[in-house]
Structure 1
Amino acid sequence: MSAMQRLELRQGQSLTMTPQLVQSIKLLQLSHAELAAYVEAELERNPLLHEGEIRADAPAPSLADFLRAKQKAQAAGARMVPGPAPARAPASSGASGTAGAAHGDIGPEMEETLARATSLTEHLEAQLDLATADPRLRRIGEHLIHNLDEAGYLTEDLTEIAARLQVSPEDVEAALRLIQTLEPSGIGARSLAECLGIQLKERDRLDPAMQALLAHLHLVARQDFAGLRKVCGVDQEDLADMLAEIRRLEPKPGLAFTPVAVDVLVPDVLIRLAPDGGLAVELNPETLPRILLNRSYYAEVAKVLRKDEDKSFLSECFQTASWLTRSLEQRSRTILKVAAEIAREQEDFFRQGVSGLRPMTLKSVAEAIGMHESTISRVAANKAIGTERGTYPMKFFFGAATGEGEHSAKAVRHRIRQLVEAEGPDHVLSDQAIAQTLQADGVQVARRTVAKYREALRIPSSAGRRRRRNPKV
């Protein structure tokens, strides 16, 4: 009897992200400067979009204006994603503002219309997608990428990141090792020595002598060549070659993706003490793009167009403009919602300063406002909050608790810095004395934690501080 074939039906669920959803997510994580560049490009190519309010006495664009806009868009090589014909738009006069649902039915190809160079974040995320298929590693890796500074360094402690993401430090370490295999070489390092070591390892030049040199970069800074020859076990000629090789490396690999003109930190959200004693949270109007879909112009042009290609272009313009205005409104609402939760959780900071910071994770904010953790991460990327105490990156307000208590690690580090700065030349606090002072203030922290935070702040040990303040000791 021949083998029989079986036909089985299985049900399953999978998450499919539409191009429009992907583009809306990208809009969410853009900085206000990047968003302004993107919107400007859309205004150039889409005649149905209008910047600012449309005055009733303003002359309406003509059919000739529309056709010129079409030619200009085609000449520039701009293209919109084709889609089904839009539902018939209302023909009433006036303009439609940025209101509506979260996502439209169609959107522009962001990569083709955004007039800016690829950012370091985008460059690394594209590589990360190819480097691993593990969703856990990808999620942690994306968070690490978003937390690199403009030079490409990771300055935050891995245990704090692990606590924020509710994963193990080993998982974060594995994700960081993966990030450090990406280009540009040296990215994701936590120190200059590690950055140079990554580059040397890729060149197969990280031998024991070079490892010793990297471990004693402070001798390089002091030009203590005799000391370097001793710790590296090399002669003068070999040391000269090693130093020349070090000079050929890139100490700040991320700067290749930083524009020459560095933007001043401009707040996306303003949080102020209100007259009634509460906190007022509002979007910064200076960073909000103000664009409208001119529905009356769409209706007028739609009446007179005869060629199919003109009608198709008009349809694409309408769909793209509808998607963009709705997505910008959703972006603003999402940022405001996250900022309001930050204000609620970190109210003591806005009243007391850094010492009032509380532990707060992406997960806790996501659960509080009913959003996905990845959404909170994207909102926090490239955004800033303006306060009466200055302007801070939004991710500054996220941080884990100290290992021994419920105080924010940032607040504890700030207090350690204050204690050190208040030291006199004859009264230098040891790590144990600092820990005891903090414990007296209600902050349960161990001596080893004080030492770790002090080193992260690049504060010398008590012996080093004593010698610096009193060289005769």
Structure 2
Amino acid sequence: MKASVRAQMSQSLNLTPQLLQSIRLLQLTAPQLEMELRQALDRNPMLELDEGDEAGEVDAESPDASDEVAYEAAAWDELPDPQFMSGMSGGASMGDEDATARIAGGVSSDWRVRLLDELRLDWKPADLALAAWWLDRTADTGLLEGERDALTAEAAAELGADPSALEIVRLRLLHGMWTGLCAVDAAECLGAQLDRMPDCEALSTARSIVRDHLATLARHDSKALASAIGCSIDVADRAVALILSLEACPVPDAPSQGDDHIVPDVVVRKLGGTWRVSLNGRTLPKVRVSPHCEAGLSRAPGDVSALRGLLDEARWLVRGIAMRNDTLMRTTQVLVERQQAFLDQGEESIAPLTLREVADAIGMHESTVSRITTGKYIQTPRGTFELKRLFAVRLEGAEISGAAVKAIVKRLIDAEPPHAPLADETIAGLLARQGIRIARRTVAKYRDQLDIAPARARQRPVAMAAAR
């Protein structure tokens, strides 16, 4: 065995405690930030409440949003993306851990991010990249948005991956912790869940129903179901009960965060024909470095290193809050500017908008925009909602967002004749007349997301419709 010495150069990013604090402040929600500030006031005598001005809304022209703050905000913009956000792409290894991933944060409202965050503990980076691709093509119902073979061919061309490797990853998701995810159809989703159940008398019958007789099951006709399978009605009923115990949608709800009340971080209103954005300063205590303590410390004799450490901590906290507010204000201004039509006219006018477009507009990275918009709420004349709602995915092949199309679908269904409801294919035809070409299954997907029943279930007799 031959021993050798090899020199190797590498780059690494070391995060200072101050920068880690700034990143954590960036992603705190309003209630979390209020608790953080009150705890800091209790433990640090160098901080005090700023009661010089009445707390209120801070406009975009506030002197707090200085050039110095904007310059220092770029410090966290140099950070790499967390690996689960990038799908483990770029050849990064598990050893190249993103230091920001060690910062405690809230649970994401996106189930895809939550699942990838769990899988990254055990899965290889290459498999995670393929899993992220499949999840991006999976609807909120847990089923694939398209034909499996077509999606596999698209992934093979886009990622350069072997089709068999893609199918293996899909099957791992299908039979993984959220059993039934990434299924081709409802039969495969339910079948995967049955495969994990303990053996019982009704299990084989339930598999047969799921595989070949879902349409008969939907009619709730036990006699026809038993006849089609060749079993007794009692056995068919037990199999049906077993199927009804399964999850129709394998995507679980986000875990509760404990405190469900909403505090808006920013307020937007229309004044003089212009949309104005302001920070909601009424919800947070305003803190500053105590000028008396700072002046007294400069003249204090002896060893005051401990007090100087508290003073530095207070300065960094005040500066970090200013950086957070500046980034939140700039991001919200861009969102409001790009979505003025939505604020004026409603859901049907929401424009396609991505994290990258906003990040380019404010000169920061996508990860910064993602952190500052997660868990932050905006109060508008149209209601209070999360900032992330102002982002919208562009509908493929069109200059309109999927959210806008969903709103149009809801309007068409709300205005349909009660005795002659619109079928999904008819709605797709009406949208095509407006230049929006989408498939019937896409209309069905939007209708399911709106919790609207199919046309047959919405139909009411003429006499009942007249009575209403």
1:329: which partner in 2?
Answer: 322
Shift of 1:454: 2.0
Within the candidate set 266, 275, 282, 2:278 is matched to 282
User: Deviations for 1:399-421, whole angstroms, at most 9, x for unmatched residues?
Assistant: 21223411111111111111111
In the superposition, the TM-score normalised over structure 1's length comes to 0.64
In the superposition, the TM-score normalised over structure 2's length comes to 0.65
- Residue 344 of structure 2 aligns to a residue in which SS? helix
Shift of 1:332: 1.0
Q: Are the equivalent residues in 2 in contact too, given 1:186–1:195 (CA < 8 A)?
A: yes
Within the candidate set 414, 421, 424, 2:417 is matched to 424
User: Deviations for 1:212-238, whole angstroms, at most 9, x for unmatched residues?
Assistant: 899999999999988998999998699
Cα separation, 2, equivalents of 1:405 and 1:123: 30
Within the candidate set 417, 442, 455, 1:449 is matched to 442
2:305: which partner in 1?
Answer: 311
1:366: which partner in 2?
Answer: 359
CA shift in 2, pair 1:111/1:408, >3 Å? closer
User: Deviations for 1:278-301, whole angstroms, at most 9, x for unmatched residues?
Assistant: 321222222444111114313424
CA shift in 2, pair 1:247/1:444, >3 Å? closer
The one-letter code of the counterpart of 2:451 is R
The one-letter code of the counterpart of 2:23 is I
Within the candidate set 267, 270, 275, 2:267 is matched to 270
- Residue 402 of structure 1 aligns to a residue in which SS? coil
Matches within 5 A, 1:76-95: none
Within the candidate set 47, 51, 58, 2:49 is matched to 51
- Residue 315 of structure 2 aligns to a residue in which SS? helix
Q: Are the equivalent residues in 2 in contact too, given 1:354–1:411 (CA < 8 A)?
A: yes
The one-letter code of the counterpart of 2:282 is E
Cα separation, 2, equivalents of 1:248 and 1:258: 22
Shift of 1:329: 0.9
The gaps in structure 2 that reach 5 residues or longer are: 54-63, 77-99, 147-153, 160-165
- Residue 459 of structure 2 aligns to a residue in which SS? helix
Shift of 1:175: 9.6
- Percent of counterpart pairs with the same letter? 30
Shift of 1:194: 11
2:121: which partner in 1?
Answer: 130
User: Deviations for 1:58-87, whole angstroms, at most 9, x for unmatched residues?
Assistant: xxxxxxxxxxxxxxxxxxxxxxxxxxxxxx
- Residue 269 of structure 2 aligns to a residue in which SS? strand
Cα separation, 2, equivalents of 1:299 and 1:315: 12
The one-letter code of the counterpart of 2:313 is T
Shift of 1:9: 4.2
CA shift in 2, pair 1:416/1:344, >3 Å? same
CA shift in 2, pair 1:458/1:376, >3 Å? same
1:42: which partner in 2?
Answer: 40
Cα separation, 2, equivalents of 1:429 and 1:242: 31
User: Deviations for 1:232-271, whole angstroms, at most 9, x for unmatched residues?
Assistant: 999869977996998899x9997795255421x3322222
Cα separation, 2, equivalents of 1:175 and 1:286: 49
Shift of 1:383: 1.2
Q: More displaced, 432-441 or 382-391?
A: 432-441
Q: Are the equivalent residues in 1 in contact too, given 2:416–2:422 (CA < 8 A)?
A: yes
Matches within 5 A, 1:140-155: none
The gaps in structure 1 that reach 5 residues or longer are: 56-95, 105-109, 146-152, 161-166
Q: Supply the RMSD in Å over aligned alpha carbons.
A: 5.4
The one-letter code of the counterpart of 2:260 is V
Cα separation, 1, equivalents of 2:315 and 2:180: 39
Shift of 1:344: 1.8
Cα separation, 1, equivalents of 2:300 and 2:101: 33
User: Deviations for 1:155-182, whole angstroms, at most 9, x for unmatched residues?
Assistant: 799879xxxxxx9699999999989999
User: Deviations for 1:412-469, whole angstroms, at most 9, x for unmatched residues?
Assistant: 1111111111112233222232223223334333434323322332322222222588
1:294: which partner in 2?
Answer: 290
User: Deviations for 1:349-377, whole angstroms, at most 9, x for unmatched residues?
Assistant: 11111111111111222222221111121
CA shift in 2, pair 1:322/1:395, >3 Å? same
1:391: which partner in 2?
Answer: 384
The one-letter code of the counterpart of 1:331 is R
Cα separation, 2, equivalents of 1:435 and 1:159: 17
CA shift in 2, pair 1:451/1:267, >3 Å? same
- Residue 50 of structure 1 aligns to a residue in which SS? strand
Matches within 5 A, 1:93-172: 100=69, 101-102=72-73, 127=118, 130-132=121-123, 134=125, 137=128
2:404: which partner in 1?
Answer: 411
Within the candidate set 231, 243, 256, 1:258 is matched to 256
Cα separation, 2, equivalents of 1:330 and 1:139: 36
Q: More displaced, 314-323 or 345-354?
A: 314-323
Cα separation, 1, equivalents of 2:237 and 2:320: 58
CA shift in 2, pair 1:439/1:260, >3 Å? same
Cα separation, 2, equivalents of 1:469 and 1:205: 49
Shift of 1:138: 8.0
Matches within 5 A, 1:167-178: none
Q: Are the equivalent residues in 2 in contact too, given 1:338–1:365 (CA < 8 A)?
A: yes
Cα separation, 2, equivalents of 1:139 and 1:23: 33
Aligned residues: 405
Within the candidate set 379, 382, 398, 2:375 is matched to 382
- Residue 286 of structure 1 aligns to a residue in which SS? helix
2:457: which partner in 1?
Answer: 464
The one-letter code of the counterpart of 2:48 is H
Cα separation, 1, equivalents of 2:349 and 2:9: 51
The one-letter code of the counterpart of 1:26 is R
